[in-house]
Each structure stands twice: as C-alpha cells, then as structure tokens.
C-alpha cells in the first residue's frame, strides 16, 4: 500500500517542521507543509493529499473559509480535513467525536501519536 | 413578667398610675420594635425593664419601701430605652458594614476574574502553539533516543510533563474567558453526581479512598448544564482526594431542604435564596485534615492552591464557584466539627417548585 499523503497547513513553521519529521519517521506518511494560508489551496491542488491538517487562525487566511473552498474545489472535493486549533483546549473536546463546522478537530498541543491515530481514522484510502 | 402584667389588668385600681402607664407605653412599642427587628438581646433587656417597672410599682407591697417617685420611673425608663435601642441599631450597623465589606471583596474578586478571562483569551492561543512545537519535538527526540539511554529518556519525560502542566493551566484559564452561557436541560442532580463519581473512580481506587453516596431519591429535576456541573463535582471530589492523600472516606449527600435564617449565612446566599425557599443541597465531606482557618478567606481566589507544585492549578474551586453561581446557586467551604472539610453546594429549584 502506498504512503498516505498528508498536507500540514499551519503558519507556525516550527510546528509543521517537527510534526512533518515525526510523521515521516514514525508513520507511513508522505508529508507536505504549507505555512502560508493563502497558498494552501494551490498546495493542496498540486499535492493531492489524502488528508489535510488545517490550522484555523492564520494571519493571512481563515481555516474555516479555506475548508469551504476545498470542499467546493473540483479537484479537492471530498478531501478529508481535520482542524488543528489552539482555540479550544483538549479537555473541552471531550473525545474525537466533536467537530467544528462539521469537521473533526484536534486541540493544540496535540500529541503526535494522536495525529497518527487521526490519520488512520480519517485519511482517504486510495488503491 | 406575664404574671405582673396579668395582675395589672386584673387589679387596675391597685396598679395603674400615671408613671407606670407612661413608662409602659414607652417600653412596649420599643419591645415590639426590637422583637420585629430580631434583636434578641435587646428584646430581653426591654422585657426585663418592663418587669422592673412593675416591681417598682409594687415595691411598697413587696419590699415595704416605695421605689416610686413622680419622675423616677420616667428617668429610669427613658435612658434604658435609649441604651437598649441604641445597642440594637449599633449591632445592625455593624452587620451592614460587614456585609458591605463582603460585597466589596466580591466585586474585587469578580473584577479579578474578568481580567484573568480577558488575558487568558489573548494569551492562550499564543502559548498553545509553542507548547505544541515543544511537545512534538520531544516526541521526535524520544523516538530517536536509544532505549538504553535512560537519563535522556527521563529528561524528555520531564519535559513532556512540563508541557502537560502548562497546558492544564492554560485550559483552566480559558474556562474564565468563554462559555459563560449555560446549556441548560432539565436534569436529575443525583445522576449527574453518579456520573461524576465514575470519572474519579480510578483516582479513588488508587488512593484507597471510599466514596459513600447518600442521595435523596425523588429530588425535583433541576435546570443544569450537566457537563459543567459534572466538572464541579469532579473538581470537588478530586480536591477531597488530594486532601486525604491516602486511606479515607468521602461522603456525598444530596437533600431537599428549606432555607432558614440560620442557613442563609453570607451575602451571596442571602441574595440568592430567601427564608422558606426550598433548594437542593449537596454536601461533600472528607476525612482529610481540614482547611486552616487563614486559608478559608482566599480559598476561591484564582491560583490559590495548597497543593504541591504541579498537582493543582489553583483554579478548580474558582471555576467551580463560577459555574455554581451561573446556575444561581452558592458554594461554601468550611471545616466539620469532627474534622475534615465540607463543601456545600446549594442549588435553586425550577420556578414553581421552590415555594414550600
């Protein structure tokens, strides 16, 4: 089975760098990083990810609006999205079933093991 | 006194004269006023005065010496009334002053909480991102460190624990800044308490502490935000566990009670409940060492904690108080006469159910 293609969109370069390292070394993943929210759509079109981890609050883009654009994009439509956000605390999430705008989310600071579990749960299966 | 008054009615020709009548007329309204205001000591003093008045009148018959003079009685009675009523007013003024001080303290506390809330909302987002970076970095390094390098692994574990602690503090702070609205549903408080108990079951077992619940069946349903109220009871039982440390007992009781003058102690409670009102009362009592008297005044202050560093954020009771008060209830912390601490949560009934 081919590697899962994961797109990380977060304006914090230190987070995406560390997370990409972890997922590459410890998960069966191919990771693409984008630190500019405004370039996320283009990055997604080009990379064609199986799952996008998307920050909600970024200086140049709104994660919620980006998610809506992705879902209406003819190429990206149906691509699973998981929000990564510092807006809520982990204790408030009450488990993985909670969603923001219909999308699952992970509350920062999230354990990378949880990110891996989220990939296993949500990433699109491709032959 | 009753006998003397009865005598004055039965034998008016022997007892009634102008001085007694004037003194009595002055004393009786004062006596009624003191009784109405609830000044028990003043009421007793004025009652004694009334008896003294009668004794004065009867003195020639009782003592063989007349204590009656044309102005004597009025001279005795007037200052007596003044002193007694003055003492009553003075006591009441002191009570109002104490309540004013308590209200001022509450305002300061409320302002403090609001400031923390505003600060937390701004800071939390900025702090959580670096925490995430550090945590992920720790995990990357932990995977790379050989299993045999115990010292480095221990260091990384300590770093991870530190991140967790910082996250807990930020999470606690965020509780102040948002979600001040309640998601109210009609709920059975006993069920909420039982669900909370399940969440702390593991901690209770680890510390060899028995939780004894005596929940009054058939309590009226309350309008509760179940999630937040569960958070309150988890906080309170967790505090009790930390106080006991090991081997002990925590008692949780619920009951439907009628508020009395004695139970409405404190400004917060007397503002929210009235005498005769029915309310649901939850008591959580532990067999721990109790709370030192000097801590009781500041126990609801944010960041006040007696727990060792890293064990508590000092926000649990503040958050619990905030949640209970959002429900229109009160929370009190004190010590039991037999030792250990007691937390009392009093919650309002729904409209139409509170009257007895």
Cα separation values, B147 from A24, B142, B144, B154, B155, Å:
20, 9, 9, 11, 13
* Nearest-by-CA chain B residue for A109: B132
Chain A partners of B170 at a C-beta cutoff of 8 Å? 89
Instruction: List all residues of chain A from 20 to 59 with a beta carbon under 8 Å from chain B.
Output: 21-22, 25-26, 57
**What distance in Å separates the CA atoms of residue B65 and residue B55, rounded to the nearest whole number?**
11
Beta bridge partners of A85: A107
List the A81-85 sheet strands across, edge first. A29-34, A4-9, A51-55, A81-85, A103-107, A99-100
Sign of CA pseudo-dihedral B326, B329, B334, B340: negative
- pLDDT confidence tier of residue B316, bands split at 50, 70 and 90: confident
Least Cα separation, residue B115 to chain A (angstroms): 19
Contact B139 A87 (CB under 8 A): no
In chain B, which ranges are E strands? 185-187, 209-215, 222-224, 248-258, 278-286, 330-335, 341-348
Residues B20-30: pLDDT tens digits? 677 777 778 88
Sign of CA pseudo-dihedral B116, B118, B121, B127: negative
| SS3 state of residue B180 | coil
- Determine which of A86-100, B5-19, B184-198, B313-327 has the lowest per-residue pLDDT on average: B5-19
Cα separation values, A91 from A29, A81, A107, B170, Å:
28, 21, 9, 11
* Nearest-by-CA chain B residue for A25: B140
Residue A90 lies in a domain: yes
Q: Between A and B, how many residue pairs show a Cβ–Cβ distance under 8 A? A: 63
pLDDT surpasses 70 at A112:
yes
* Nearest-by-CA chain B residue for A26: B143
**Is the CB of residue B84 less than 8 Å from the CB of residue B46?**
yes
Chain A partners of B238 at a C-beta cutoff of 8 Å? none
**Which residue is it, tokens 């609050």?**
A57
The pLDDT assigned to B7 comes to: 44
Query: Nearest by CB to A15, which of B129, B167, B171?
Result: B129
Of B38, B18, B15, nearest to B26 by C-alpha is B18
The pLDDT assigned to B285 comes to: 96
pLDDT surpasses 70 at B268:
no
DSSP 8-state class, residue A56: S
Give yes or no for B137 touching A (CB within 8 A): yes
Of B85, B83, B76, nearest to B24 by C-alpha is B76
Residue with the larger pLDDT of the pair A6 and B312? A6
Pick among B120, B125, B126, B133 to test the A interface (most A CBs inside 10 A): B133
Beta bridge partners of A30: A5
Pick among B125, B131, B140 to test the A interface (most A CBs inside 10 A): B140
**What distance in Å separates the CA atoms of residue B327 and residue B184, rounded to the nearest whole number?**
9
Give yes or no for A113 touching B (CB within 8 A): yes
Give yes or no for B78 touching A (CB within 8 A): no
Least Cα separation, residue A102 to chain B (angstroms): 20
Residue A93 lies in a domain: yes
Contact B167 A109 (CB under 8 A): yes
Pair of tokens at residue B178: 């948002």
The CATH number assigned to the domain holding A37 equals 3.40.50.2300
Buried b (16+ CB within 10 A) or exposed e, B158-184: ebbeebbebbbbbbbbbbbbebeebee
Task: Identify the top-confidence range among A4-13, B34-43, B172-181, B288-297.
Answer: A4-13
Residue A77 lies in a domain: yes
Chain B partners of A15 at a C-beta cutoff of 8 Å? 129, 132-133, 136
The pLDDT assigned to B13 comes to: 43
Residue A99 lies in a domain: yes
pLDDT surpasses 80 at B8:
no
**Which residue is it, tokens 């949640």?**
B323
- pLDDT confidence tier of residue B229, bands split at 50, 70 and 90: very high
**What distance in Å separates the CA atoms of residue B2 and residue B336, rounded to the nearest whole number?**
42
Pair of tokens at residue A21: 């390292």
Residue A107 lies in a domain: yes
pLDDT surpasses 60 at A44:
yes
Residue A40 lies in a domain: yes
Which value, to the nearest 10 degrees, does the dihedral of the CA atoms of residues A109, A113, A118, A120 take?
170
B344 Rama sector, left if φ>0, alpha if ψ -120 to 50, beta otherwise: beta
Pick among A13, A14, A55, A86 to test the B interface (most B CBs inside 10 A): A86
Sign of CA pseudo-dihedral B171, B173, B178, B181: positive
Residue A57 lies in a domain: yes
Stated length of chain B: 356
What total of structural domains would you count in chain A? 1
Contact A86 B171 (CB under 8 A): no
Give yes or no for B136 touching A (CB within 8 A): yes
Q: A81 is in which domain, residue-wise?
A: 4-122
- Determine which of A28-42, A48-62, A103-117, B91-105 has the lowest per-residue pLDDT on average: B91-105
ipTM for the assembly: 0.85
**What distance in Å separates the CA atoms of residue B11 and residue B21, rounded to the nearest whole number?**
14
Residue A127 lies in a domain: no
């Amino acid at each position: 089975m081919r590697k899962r293609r994961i797109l990380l969109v977060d304006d914090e370069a230190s987070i995406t760098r560390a997370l990409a390292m972890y997922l590459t070394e410890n998960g069966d993943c191919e990771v693409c990083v984008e630190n500019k929210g405004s370039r996320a759509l283009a990055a997604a079109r080009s990379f064609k990810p199986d799952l996008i981890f998307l920050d909600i609050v970024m200086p140049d883009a709104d994660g919620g609006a980006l998610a809506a654009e992705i879902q209406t994009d003819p190429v990206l439509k149906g691509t699973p999205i998981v929000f990564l956000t510092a807006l809520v605390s982990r204790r408030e999430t009450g488990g993985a079933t909670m969603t923001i705008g219909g999308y699952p989310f992970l509350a920062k600071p999230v354990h990378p093991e949880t990110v891996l579990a989220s990939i296993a749960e949500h990433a699109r299966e491709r032959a | 006194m009753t006998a003397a008054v009865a005598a004055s009615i039965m034998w008016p020709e022997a007892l009634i004269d102008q001085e007694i009548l004037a003194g009595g007329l002055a004393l009786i309204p004062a006596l009624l006023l003191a009784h109405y205001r609830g000044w028990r000591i003043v009421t007793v003093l004025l009652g004694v005065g009334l008896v003294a008045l009668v004794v004065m009148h009867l003195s020639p018959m009782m003592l063989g010496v007349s204590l009656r003079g044309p102005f004597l009685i009025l001279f005795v009675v007037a200052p007596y009334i003044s002193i007694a009523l003055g003492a009553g007013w003075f006591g009441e003024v002191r009570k109002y002053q104490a309540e004013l001080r308590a209200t001022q303290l509450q305002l300061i506390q409320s302002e403090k909480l609001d400031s923390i809330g505003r600060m937390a909302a701004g800071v939390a987002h900025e702090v959580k991102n670096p925490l995430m970076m550090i945590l992920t970095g720790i995990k990357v390094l932990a995977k790379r460190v050989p299993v045999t390098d115990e010292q480095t692994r221990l260091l990384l574990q300590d770093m991870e624990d530190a991140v967790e602690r910082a996250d807990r503090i930020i999470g606690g702070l965020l509780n102040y800044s948002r979600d001040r609205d309640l998601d109210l549903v009609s709920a059975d408080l006993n069920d909420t308490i039982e669900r909370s108990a399940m969440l702390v079951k593991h901690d209770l077992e680890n510390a060899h502490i028995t939780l004894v619940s005596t929940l009054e069946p058939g309590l009226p349903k309350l309008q509760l935000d179940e999630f937040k109220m569960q958070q309150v009871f988890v906080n309170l039982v967790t505090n009790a566990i930390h106080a006991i440390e090991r081997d002990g007992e925590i008692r949780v009781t619920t009951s439907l009670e009628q508020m009395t003058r004695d139970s409405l102690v404190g400004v917060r409670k007397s503002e929210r409940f009235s005498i005769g009102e029915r309310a649901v009362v939850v008591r959580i009592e532990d067999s721990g060492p109790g709370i030192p008297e000097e801590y009781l005044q500041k126990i609801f202050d944010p960041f006040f904690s007696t727990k060792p560093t890293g064990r508590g954020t000092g926000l649990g009771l503040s958050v619990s108080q905030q949640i209970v008060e959002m429900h229109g209830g009160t929370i009190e912390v004190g010590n039991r006469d037999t030792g250990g601490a007691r937390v009392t949560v009093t919650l309002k009934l729904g409209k139409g159910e509170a009257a007895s």
